[in-house]
A and B are shown apart, each in its own frame.
Chain A
Amino acid sequence: MEIHSERHASCLHLHPEGEFTIYHAAELMPMLFDALTQSDEIEIDLSAVAEIDTSGVQLLMLMKREAVAAGKSLKLSSHSPAVLEVFEVMGLGGWFGDPQVLPASALGLGRAAA
């Protein structure tokens, strides 16, 4: 589990790689939440997230909630297929409010905001 971060203008880009699962949750949490203190504008590129489970989703949800509460902006982008599938099952697409690019096979399965 690794998170690369780089800053473009005012926006902090996080690029996590690997698994967002219970095995890495403890390790992930400080990396994600530190970002919240570092910038007012954060974008997480999820394209390299190979697997995500409930604990990973929770972390993202908590981060989003805290960001909104602090008036910061948190964007999720380039969702990997694994992330899309889980968001689909949990009905979270609308919850985060980020545009999701569905792979061709999933077209037609899009849902309205939950």
Chain B
Amino acid sequence: MNLDLGEALQTFIAESRGLLQDMEEALLRLETQPDDAESINAVFRAAHTIKGSSGLFGLNDIVAFTHKAENVLDRVRNNEVPLNEDLIGLLLACRDHIESLIDLVVSEAEMDADTRMRGEALAVQLSVCLGKGAAEAEPAAAENASPVAGTGGMAGDTWHISARFGRDVLRSGMDPLSLLRYLSRLGEIVYLSTLADALPPIAEMEPESCYLGFEIRLKSDTDKAQIESVFEFVRDDCDLHILAPGSKLADYLRLITLLPEDHSRLGELLLACGAVTARELEQTLALQDCEGTREIPVQPLGEILVERQLVQPELIDAALSKQKDARNRQAQEARFIRVHADKLDSLINLVGELVISGAGVGLIAQRNKDGVLMESVSGMARLVEDIRDNAMRLRMVEIGETFNRFRRVVRDVSKEIGKDIDLEINGAETELDKTVVEKIGDPLTHLMRNAMDHGIESAEVRASRGKPVKGTLKLNAHHESGGIVIEVSDDGGGLNRERILAKALEKGLIQSGDSLPDGEVWKLIFEPGFSTADQVSNLSGRGVGMDVVRRNIEALRGTVEITSQAGLGSTFRIRLPLTLAIIDGFLVGVGDSHYVVPLDMVQECLELDAGRNEQQAYLNLRGEVLPLLRVKEHFGLGGRTSRRQNVVVVNSAGRRAGLVVDELKGEFQAVIKPLGQLFAKIRGIAGSTILGSGEVALVLEVPALLSEVAREKGCVALAAV
């Protein structure tokens, strides 16, 4: 089948990926709490929905495989198969296989031999699990049997389905054919009749409308919800009646009155498919003819459901709860809109321009001393600020999703290296810019693997050191002065100062390590090609990685810092800016130029005593030593030093310094424009921004400046906060 479903297929793929993610999370939860019914249901639901949707798209490989997994899950759900660690491992492997099958759909590739073999191996394992549970034959065995047989069996498990498709079904990309094909997977279609009664005369025929209806007898031990789910995608566009096995004659008669075709024609049809006997039909039709002159009002579907409740209440309940679920899901989906990231980007760009021109209007108003205009400008500025904040927030996502992905990493790695490791996650609700989230995943993975492989000791060593045998890895996130801090910490052996120094000496990175403070020693591991691992393992220790980690983080304007205590573990602390586009800045003037200091880093401003020695490098700030950085000299700017100078006290990553500038101009919203390639190597400048007057101001990169100060004046001089 080559139905080109284009967008629908994309939606299916995106949804399936989401479901697989849910499935993985639920499975990992089950590993710690095997009795959590909610998680078991979540796994089952995910598998079930993927199976259902892929059936609609004719993705038979996925249907067949997922079906097998679903059978096992069903047993688990009914407590017929115990859920142990092995089974969870198997189910995770199945999840991965489904994912690779979906990847194949994306790349439109055929299944290769490897994938096929893996699928078959998993299927065998699954059926072994089934075998343990019960020796009952798999219902899927009937799958490939002839879907239609001539004689209608009247077995107790035969459903009657009447479907009349709406005119627009074909136009919306659904083909009833694929629904029929899928239906035949739920059981055996013992009878199927295609009704063309609704076909109009040639003159009125619209070739792209659907006029067909179907009467189907389906022999299956499935439930009503499952049959309905087949029609889920066309629910609004399809007149669907499902009669449960063993429905009373009256129900069929009511069905006759509800369907659009002629009564006696329908009667014959039901007779042909074995739903009613000839005598029953005769009697009841006669009965109806007596009353027949009276118009029979068409009952709404709901009423039928209520009446039928007397017959099989549990079925109705199941169907209703399923519908409710679907409605809840729809309601939840309705609260989200999928938006292309580019649209958001262009919105934020526009807001940036708005901020700039808003500032321009403000400036003119100020210059003209127009009070009324200034008032409305300040009102507008507030609104623009709100818009900016909201626009930025649109791009904000919780980091939890990224964190949760690591549960699987921790699980797999700890299995692989034979260590028992727990992952603790804190601050998963911390939000940061989507682009930052996307780029932080890789460095974090590196750090986590390193911590598990090298940081956390083997069980024997841990026991001998009197620590709990089980290692703990922590992922924390929180906001701090306009940025986000992500910490990866382990309770392992900590970094080995001697070994790092020895290695650094050997590589010629340092001359002598005696006087280096710990912080500087730890930084050495970020040098390219540096690895102290005695053994190169599959995971880490090849000396690539840590320098890549640092580069990735720096590319995000972030910093990474290590604290480590021998025997107690180490912590990698990553600081990142929340966003890369707009900042609240503090505008200062130096000579004829303007500079913007990110406002989050500004602590206070003070006046520099006029009488002070030009060369003085420190300031006594309420009893603390504050190193000074003279911006004018630092950047080699000309011009006369103004008579009065000011100091902006900045703080970043726990270090403090004073920037000496000529003029304080106040707060300013800066839309950061990146500098060109030419200036990529300049340290201390993060970007540029345009002032309301049209002038360009450079945005100072405070962390880099502080390191410069540290280098110039010796790190001892840096006041720790």
What residues on A are CB-neighbors of B78 within 8 Å? none
Nearest A residue to B184, CB-CB:
A89
Max chain B C-beta neighbours (<10 A), residue from A62, A66, A88:
A62
Selected contact of A88 from candidates B148, B202, B207, CB within 8 Å: B148
A28 within 8 A of B: yes
Which residues of A52-72 have CB atoms within 8 Å of chain B's CB atoms?
A: 53-55, 57-59, 61-62, 65-66
**Chain B, interface SS category:** loop
The CA of A65 and the CA of B196, in the complex, are separated in Å by: 9
Which residues of A78-95 have CB atoms within 8 Å of chain B's CB atoms?
A: 86, 88-92, 95
The CA of A75 and the CA of B150, in the complex, are separated in Å by: 23
Whether B202 lies near A62 (C-beta < 8 A) is: yes
What residues on B are CB-neighbors of A108 within 8 Å? 146
Measured CB to CB, the closest approach of chain B to A48, in angstroms, equals 17
Whether A54 lies near B176 (C-beta < 8 A) is: yes
Q: How does the 8 Å CB contact mask read for B43-68 relative to A, with 1 for contact and 0 for none?
A: 00000000000000000000000000
Whether B149 lies near A58 (C-beta < 8 A) is: no
Known A22-B208, A55-B210; contact A111-B196, beta-carbon cutoff 8 A: no
Whether B202 lies near A33 (C-beta < 8 A) is: yes
Whether A22 lies near B180 (C-beta < 8 A) is: no
Selected contact of B194 from candidates A22, A36, A90, CB within 8 Å: A90
Q: How does the 8 Å CB contact mask read for B70-85 relative to A, with 1 for contact and 0 for none?
A: 0000000000000000
Nearest A residue to B145, CB-CB:
A109
A29 within 8 A of B: yes
Nearest B residue to A26, CB-CB:
B207
A25 within 8 A of B: yes
The CA of A82 and the CA of B205, in the complex, are separated in Å by: 24
What residues on B are CB-neighbors of A54 within 8 Å? 170, 175-177, 210, 212
Selected contact of B175 from candidates A36, A53, A112, CB within 8 Å: A53
Known A28-B207, A53-B3; contact A22-B170, beta-carbon cutoff 8 A: yes
Which residues of B137-153 have CB atoms within 8 Å of chain A's CB atoms?
A: 146-151
B193 within 8 A of A: yes
Measured CB to CB, the closest approach of chain A to B205, in angstroms, equals 6
Measured CB to CB, the closest approach of chain A to B505, in angstroms, equals 72
Which residues of B153-181 have CB atoms within 8 Å of chain A's CB atoms?
A: 170-171, 175-177, 180-181
The CA of A114 and the CA of B494, in the complex, are separated in Å by: 77
A40 within 8 A of B: no
Measured CB to CB, the closest approach of chain B to A90, in angstroms, equals 5
Which residues of A14-50 have CB atoms within 8 Å of chain B's CB atoms?
A: 22, 25-26, 28-29, 33, 36
B403 within 8 A of A: no
Whether B180 lies near A55 (C-beta < 8 A) is: no
Measured CB to CB, the closest approach of chain B to A46, in angstroms, equals 16
Max chain A C-beta neighbours (<10 A), residue from B181, B192, B201:
B192
Nearest B residue to A33, CB-CB:
B202
- Number of B residues near A (Cβ < 8 Å) is 31
The CA of A53 and the CA of B171, in the complex, are separated in Å by: 12
Whether B210 lies near A58 (C-beta < 8 A) is: yes
What residues on B are CB-neighbors of A92 within 8 Å? 194
B595 within 8 A of A: no
Selected contact of A61 from candidates B196, B207, B214, CB within 8 Å: B196
Known A90-B180, A91-B194; contact A109-B208, beta-carbon cutoff 8 A: no
Whether B193 lies near A114 (C-beta < 8 A) is: yes
Measured CB to CB, the closest approach of chain B to A8, in angstroms, equals 25
Selected contact of A89 from candidates B150, B177, B211, CB within 8 Å: B177
B199 within 8 A of A: yes
Nearest A residue to B150, CB-CB:
A112
What residues on A are CB-neighbors of B175 within 8 Å? 22, 53-54
Measured CB to CB, the closest approach of chain A to B179, in angstroms, equals 10
Measured CB to CB, the closest approach of chain B to A53, in angstroms, equals 5
Measured CB to CB, the closest approach of chain B to A57, in angstroms, equals 8
What residues on B are CB-neighbors of A89 within 8 Å? 147, 177, 180-181, 184, 192
B32 within 8 A of A: no
Selected contact of A90 from candidates B146, B170, B192, CB within 8 Å: B192
Max chain B C-beta neighbours (<10 A), residue from A28, A29, A89, A112:
A89
B2 within 8 A of A: yes
Whether B199 lies near A62 (C-beta < 8 A) is: yes
What residues on B are CB-neighbors of A90 within 8 Å? 177, 180, 192, 194, 214
Whether A88 lies near B147 (C-beta < 8 A) is: yes
Measured CB to CB, the closest approach of chain A to B622, in angstroms, equals 79
Selected contact of B170 from candidates A55, A61, A86, CB within 8 Å: A55
Measured CB to CB, the closest approach of chain B to A96, in angstroms, equals 11
What residues on A are CB-neighbors of B148 within 8 Å? 88, 91, 111
What residues on B are CB-neighbors of A28 within 8 Å? 207
The CA of A22 and the CA of B199, in the complex, are separated in Å by: 16
Nearest B residue to A51, CB-CB:
B2
The CA of A51 and the CA of B177, in the complex, are separated in Å by: 12
The CA of A65 and the CA of B200, in the complex, are separated in Å by: 10
Nearest B residue to A27, CB-CB:
B207
What residues on A are CB-neighbors of B151 within 8 Å? 112
The CA of A112 and the CA of B212, in the complex, are separated in Å by: 21
The CA of A95 and the CA of B3, in the complex, are separated in Å by: 25
Whether B170 lies near A59 (C-beta < 8 A) is: no
Which residues of B373-407 have CB atoms within 8 Å of chain A's CB atoms?
A: none
Whether B177 lies near A91 (C-beta < 8 A) is: no
Known A54-B177, A58-B199, A89-B184; contact A26-B192, beta-carbon cutoff 8 A: no
Whether B194 lies near A29 (C-beta < 8 A) is: no
What residues on B are CB-neighbors of A88 within 8 Å? 147-148
Whether B176 lies near A109 (C-beta < 8 A) is: no
Whether A29 lies near B180 (C-beta < 8 A) is: no
Measured CB to CB, the closest approach of chain A to B436, in angstroms, equals 44
What residues on B are CB-neighbors of A55 within 8 Å? 170, 207-208, 210
Measured CB to CB, the closest approach of chain A to B234, in angstroms, equals 12
The CA of A57 and the CA of B165, in the complex, are separated in Å by: 14
Which residues of B413-469 have CB atoms within 8 Å of chain A's CB atoms?
A: none
The CA of A25 and the CA of B211, in the complex, are separated in Å by: 14
Measured CB to CB, the closest approach of chain A to B624, in angstroms, equals 77
Whether A91 lies near B207 (C-beta < 8 A) is: no
Whether B208 lies near A25 (C-beta < 8 A) is: yes
Nearest B residue to A56, CB-CB:
B207
What residues on B are CB-neighbors of A26 within 8 Å? 207-208
The CA of A59 and the CA of B148, in the complex, are separated in Å by: 23
Whether A62 lies near B205 (C-beta < 8 A) is: yes
Known A54-B212, A62-B199, A90-B194; contact A29-B205, beta-carbon cutoff 8 A: yes
Nearest B residue to A82, CB-CB:
B1
Nearest A residue to B203, CB-CB:
A33
Which residues of B71-121 have CB atoms within 8 Å of chain A's CB atoms?
A: none
What residues on A are CB-neighbors of B3 within 8 Å? 53
Measured CB to CB, the closest approach of chain A to B434, in angstroms, equals 38
Counting from the closest, the 5 A-B pairs by CB-CB distance are A112-B150, A25-B207, A91-B192, A61-B196, A29-B207
Q: In the complex, given contacts A22-B171, A26-B207, A58-B196, what are 18 additional A-B residue pairs having Cβ atoms less than 8 angstroms apart?
A: A36-B202, A55-B210, A57-B212, A61-B194, A61-B199, A62-B196, A62-B202, A62-B205, A65-B196, A88-B148, A90-B180, A90-B192, A91-B148, A91-B193, A111-B150, A112-B150, A112-B151, A114-B192
Residues of A within 8 A of B (CB): 22, 25-26, 28-29, 33, 36, 51, 53-55, 57-59, 61-62, 65-66, 86, 88-92, 95, 108-109, 111-112, 114
Residues of B within 8 A of A (CB): 2-3, 146-151, 170-171, 175-177, 180-181, 184, 191-194, 196, 199, 201-202, 205, 207-208, 210-212, 214
9 example contacts (A-B, Cβ-Cβ < 8 A) are as follows A22-B207, A22-B208, A25-B208, A33-B202, A54-B176, A58-B212, A89-B184, A91-B194, A109-B146
